[in-house]
Structure 1
């Protein structure tokens, strides 16, 4: 429903602006918490006033156009028709809202598709380039995805010049494709308030609009959305899935009346049914969205449907789902959102759409995901166990038996839910930062092999592939400005081509190709499944961990894609010395070491004896 509001042009050419405000005296199901908006009048102001009426002055409230207030089944509509229609162009506007107590506010449109140039102005386009992205012919299931996490501003800052950041991303798509990824997860591009000078995108205000800073070109303002459509088309032409990191737990209030319009459209903003605490969770100074009210649930669902269908996205990563998942209300919030979107995708004949949640950073995510039933969930233990800031194995230089549970990433998730595994993401210091320097990147190689050979959707953070060093404080509440978490960290593209960068990219490309070529590595099967975490040496059958020698052995298997079974014996050596091991094999015969020149080995007693495993590396023995 909400996607219908804002600017609209009918098939016969009529143009109008429509603001919708829900009201529970008209439709009691709209909200159970909140009050009436108490709006008396809504006027439209903009840069087109003098064009519509020569007696009017642009951006002047006194000569603004009074909307027509009507009632629909769910609340009130405030509509202004353009008669005659406006000519082709890019137009900016705002609503001037007067309330019963004579308060007057100038507010943006909560359903605008375009951002304006400043002061949280909304915009619309008449004419311009057709916004028609190309869809992806064959979406892959979550377990087959290798995702690249991309922050649009940082990714392009160093080389884009005066071009819109969205355009500049296209320059590097072939380089990304060479990593053997098949998906890009874009950090949020939904518009935030104009009083925010820099953002990661986790402070949305205009949920149907792409952030102006990413698409702004003063010479071609009518092409803002077509730029995003072109980026998606370019990704799909390369068989790259497009996932959007979307924030639906909170909204940015802004300063004054900037920010989330459905907050400011109430005379008393705290009575807005869109905001309120649905579940105790941090909101970082922003407005929690109240999923106890139907209007909020419908709004965010319509937002997702809009991005999914209008721009032919291939899925979402839902940020901080703990903030809208209330176990006491399992039919509201995140569970209902995911269920409704799955049903919508089915009705639209959209297969393999990814609905991936970011939830608790511990093992609680498993229980939460099993209740919500997404297609996937971020499994942060895969990162924090080796690269946690103080206690990570790579930081302390000592892997222990607890890592065996981490490597068995799919364990306890419902079979329909795929964990997302990674060793670095945007929220934490980078791998090379935790290792102490880029020169020590080689200490990450065994963890890279684990990433390529364990169950789940694989995710690689931008800059990880060449070892960019970035330190992020886990808690920056008392940090000096230079250590605040949310600040520009442009990718250093010179490192892309230097010796370390080239070597690391080759390694990631090789390992991700290995994963793509062997479907069995994407199965949930893992042995030992019930490893005793009190063991500090190999199990009696030779699997698990030898903490003294810092080596791990585990078995993976699954369908190879042609109906045949393929088996893998994975050996990881985290030490700085070659280790000579007795390696168990599940069957006799010939095995190929996929990591080390496809060396062929053979056994008749189910073991390789005294086999050398290279330092900070490993072996992946394969048999089919």
Structure 2
């Protein structure tokens, strides 16, 4: 929800009022409409401080020291023995079974309970267990028993024939040697390429980390993106879940290769100046008991809320109990693990709205500020998310954290010191919804520049956002990408050079304009899902029984954009040049968006950022000759033209022409003059002031 306008009188009253509560009310100062909820904001902040004090022993150690559970739990090779530990308070016995003992209970592999805790420990000589061995826990509890994968397993593999998942001992003789020792992400602006390793190749199969490194990463670098957001890294039993039903939180998915191959991919990205963030899932977990955390030791609530809050009503998954210190320790350690062991540069937290509210946000309108502070919030989850951000930025001060959140919770991407939750960015989820609604419900002549300009800038002043036109969500079966909404089946018949019909020409033009107005109004970053930059024609449908387990639609057809006889390359070429122009303006995020002109009747929109002038004509039928815009005095060169023939346009402008402003005595004091431009219908220009 964007910050509401406040009168000067009210602001003055707020600044003279004595500060009450915890004193960390920066977000209230930035938005006086939060004033009635200051006590709630301070209460949440103080709750985090109490937990920080508890976890750090009153500051005697750091939160990063606390979040090192992966160094203790799980299977570890020591100098003379193997040590295995698991938290399972409800267990009565835990055996390790595997290749090393023919999968039979053996007293040599019987763990003992550590007195006074819910932890179990096993130590065996090095000679008994070897790198590559498969293993599980055989857990017993009152009234039952079963084989389980350890919660802290760092390598989990699915048998190709039986489809059964097992933990695997992973302790190669040589640890991975990083070629890039330290890395600083470029965030001005942050340009994110959202991607999925398995479907990142042409072949009808599951792609690998190495194939992505060799074949896709160079494309991303060439296209100008400086960050990749990788989906489905944490191991998940069902490939078609897109990685959102996680079973093993510390194990990189073995479908795509080895842990070392994932490290090689991240290392290669860093060498190209590309940051790597992970789509992390801490909002829920898969229900599977044999593979996941659903019933480690006979207690279904060990990791998850009891009662009505145990299962997510919409996702068929389990909801973490963030009130338990052991669960918080598990999840915080998970954050540190991926940062420290794999050099990820941060995280996009999935399903944050679901975490924030006891209702998971389902069926809620969030129409006013009171909806964020009416007692239905999960304060445990809010505390965890804030602690996670404190930890992540303690481990790596340059790390990037992004919240996928739709309710508009104030303070989510504000600094912890100001009373916020500490995310660096939040997803601007209103924007793709706006574009879908516009394409579906409005005639082209009813598109209003004033509405477009409002929507792409609708955000809180003290929070940075990631703007995007569409993500993977719109590309899934059952939905439609922007290009498919614009062109539909005509993509299959009229997307060859010289064979375009009116529908295709319209779609190509609007696809470029929608992206340009979205990226040029960012205040933090921009995101594109893999293939959408060139209008990938197919939806995403993972292998399943309903499609005879086919990989046909779980891939990206790079051959289409590489084929110069097809129109896809026009969109890909435009996307590349668009990002180049955005990056050409130094400190783009810090440059204010200065509106020059909008006219809903003409469907014209113009604004400046630094020396860049953006001009849009959304009219489907009307072109304008010598359209006057009052701009800073000087000369202007066209640096990007959506109608240029190299981007599949008509080439109606002479883009080599320098445009000079025309004198007007009325605006001498403002140092402004009239710039007269030819604006073809359904096109946009970017000009640079010399």
Alignment partner, residue 329 of structure 2: 298
Alignment partner, residue 531 of structure 2: 463
Could you tell me which of 443, 460, 468 is aligned with 2:510? 443
Where does the alignment leave 5 or more consecutive residues of structure 1 unmatched?
22-36, 50-57, 216-223, 474-478, 529-541, 557-565
Shift of 1:199: 3.0
Mark the CA change 1:112 to 1:480 in structure 2 (over 3 Å): closer, same or farther.
Answer: closer
2:109 is aligned with 1:38: no
Where does the alignment leave 5 or more consecutive residues of structure 2 unmatched?
1-67, 358-372, 415-419, 475-479, 492-503, 642-654, 665-671
2:180 is aligned with 1:131: no
Could you tell me which of 193, 196, 213 is aligned with 1:151? 196
Q: Answer yes or no: is the 8 Å Cα contact 2:189–2:587 preserved in 1.
A: no
Q: Answer yes or no: is the 8 Å Cα contact 2:401–2:425 preserved in 1.
A: yes
Alignment partner, residue 106 of structure 1: 147
Alignment partner, residue 135 of structure 2: 93
Q: Structure 2 matches for 1:130-279, cutoff 5 A? A: 130-135=175-180, 137-140=182-185, 142-156=187-201, 158-159=202-203, 165-171=208-214, 172-193=216-237, 196-215=238-257, 224-254=258-288, 257-261=289-293, 263-269=294-300, 271-276=301-306
Alignment partner, residue 8 of structure 1: 76
**Distance (Å, rounded) in 2 between the aligned partners of 1:170 and 1:249:** 29
Q: Secondary structure at the match of 2:686?
A: strand
**Distance (Å, rounded) in 2 between the aligned partners of 1:140 and 1:388:** 34
Mark the CA change 1:329 to 1:241 in structure 2 (over 3 Å): closer, same or farther.
Answer: farther
Q: Answer yes or no: is the 8 Å Cα contact 1:589–1:602 preserved in 2.
A: yes
Alignment partner, residue 8 of structure 2: none
Could you tell me which of 379, 387, 398 is aligned with 1:340? 387
Q: Secondary structure at the match of 1:267?
A: coil
**How big is the alpha-carbon RMSD for the aligned residues of Structure 1 and Structure 2?**
3.2
Q: Which has the larger helix fraction? A: 2
Q: Answer yes or no: is the 8 Å Cα contact 1:149–1:425 preserved in 2.
A: yes
Shift of 1:336: 3.4
Alignment partner, residue 355 of structure 1: 401
Q: Secondary structure at the match of 2:674?
A: strand
2:350 is aligned with 1:319: yes
2:556 is aligned with 1:491: yes
Mark the CA change 1:108 to 1:182 in structure 2 (over 3 Å): closer, same or farther.
Answer: same
Q: Secondary structure at the match of 1:153?
A: coil
Residues 149-182 of structure 1, C-alpha deviations (whole Å, 9 max, x = no match) = 10111112x34878x6111101221121111111
Could you tell me which of 596, 614, 619 is aligned with 2:680? 614
Shift of 1:8: 0.6
Q: Answer yes or no: is the 8 Å Cα contact 1:13–1:85 preserved in 2.
A: no
* Number of residue pairs matched by the alignment: 547
Q: Secondary structure at the match of 2:453?
A: helix
2:460 is aligned with 1:412: yes
Q: Answer yes or no: is the 8 Å Cα contact 1:520–1:567 preserved in 2.
A: no
Could you tell me which of 572, 586, 595 is aligned with 1:519? 586
**Distance (Å, rounded) in 1 between the aligned partners of 2:272 and 2:204:** 21
Shift of 1:584: 2.9
**Distance (Å, rounded) in 1 between the aligned partners of 2:204 and 2:341:** 27
Mark the CA change 1:87 to 1:65 in structure 2 (over 3 Å): closer, same or farther.
Answer: closer
**Distance (Å, rounded) in 1 between the aligned partners of 2:328 and 2:520:** 38
Q: Structure 2 matches for 1:356-375, cutoff 5 A? A: 356-360=402-406, 364=408, 368-370=412-414, 371-375=420-424
Residues 5-43 of structure 1, C-alpha deviations (whole Å, 9 max, x = no match) = 111122x2421221123xxxxxxxxxxxxxxx4321111
Alignment partner, residue 121 of structure 2: 79
Q: TM-score, normalised by structure 1?
A: 0.80
Alignment partner, residue 623 of structure 1: 689
Shift of 1:142: 4.0
Mark the CA change 1:396 to 1:285 in structure 2 (over 3 Å): closer, same or farther.
Answer: farther
Q: Secondary structure at the match of 1:71?
A: coil
Q: Answer yes or no: is the 8 Å Cα contact 1:582–1:607 preserved in 2.
A: no
Alignment partner, residue 537 of structure 1: none
Q: Secondary structure at the match of 2:158?
A: coil
Residues 226-267 of structure 1, C-alpha deviations (whole Å, 9 max, x = no match) = 11111111111111100100111100011xx32323x31242
Shift of 1:113: 0.2
2:481 is aligned with 1:430: yes
Q: Secondary structure at the match of 2:169?
A: strand
Shift of 1:574: 2.2
Alignment partner, residue 531 of structure 1: none
**Distance (Å, rounded) in 1 between the aligned partners of 2:557 and 2:269:** 22
**Distance (Å, rounded) in 1 between the aligned partners of 2:218 and 2:540:** 29
Mark the CA change 1:480 to 1:93 in structure 2 (over 3 Å): closer, same or farther.
Answer: closer
Which deviates further from its counterpart, 512-521 or 298-307? 512-521
Q: Answer yes or no: is the 8 Å Cα contact 1:386–1:393 preserved in 2.
A: no
Alignment partner, residue 319 of structure 2: 288
Q: Structure 2 matches for 1:533-548, cutoff 5 A? A: 543-544=597-598, 546-548=599-601
